[in-house]
């Protein structure tokens, strides 16, 4: 990890940038859009439907949808993957936690 201290990252920004592999290609102004992209991917995937990377890319209007999904995995979210029959594409779905017992 090679964080350039002259860029004056906040502690939170430094941790986030380090989780993405370092600061060599990231600037401070890159952090907010990346975090927003992760949040968008999470909101879409919380609906529980299967979705392909191209469809996810269209919905968030941002390249790197697969990277945002990878960040969710690194944050501890479980994402299921299945191949679409007769295709090279895969679909992904956020694995929702199972509720133990009843609600009451």
Cα 62 to chain centroid, rounded: 12
Contacts of 52 (CB under 8 A, 6+ apart): 84, 89, 90, 91, 92
pLDDT one digit per residue (tens) for the chain, 104 residues: 444 444 566 666 666 666 655 555 556 666 666 777 888 999 999 999 999 999 999 998 877 888 888 888 888 889 999 999 999 999 999 987 655 554 44
Where are the domains positioned within the chain? 5-94
Tell me the CATH class for 5-94: mainly alpha
Q: Quick one: tokens of 6?
A: 């002259």
Residues 6+ apart with CB under 8 A from 63: 57
Per-residue confidence (pLDDT) for residue 94, from 0 to 100: 92
Predicted local confidence at residue 16, as pLDDT: 65
Please state whether the predicted TM-score (pTM) of the whole model is above 0.85. no
């Amino acid at each position: 990890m090679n964080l350039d201290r002259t860029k004056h990252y906040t502690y939170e920004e430094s941790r986030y940038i380090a989780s993405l592999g370092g600061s060599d290609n990231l600037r401070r102004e890159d952090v907010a859009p990346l975090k927003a992209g992760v949040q968008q991917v999470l909101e879409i995937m919380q609906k529980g439907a299967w979705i392909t990377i191209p469809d996810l890319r269209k919905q968030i209007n941002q390249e790197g949808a697969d990277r945002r999904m990878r960040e969710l995995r690194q944050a501890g979210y479980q994402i299921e993957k299945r191949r679409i029959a007769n295709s090279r594409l895969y679909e992904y779905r956020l694995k929702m936690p199972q509720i133990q017992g009843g609600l009451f």
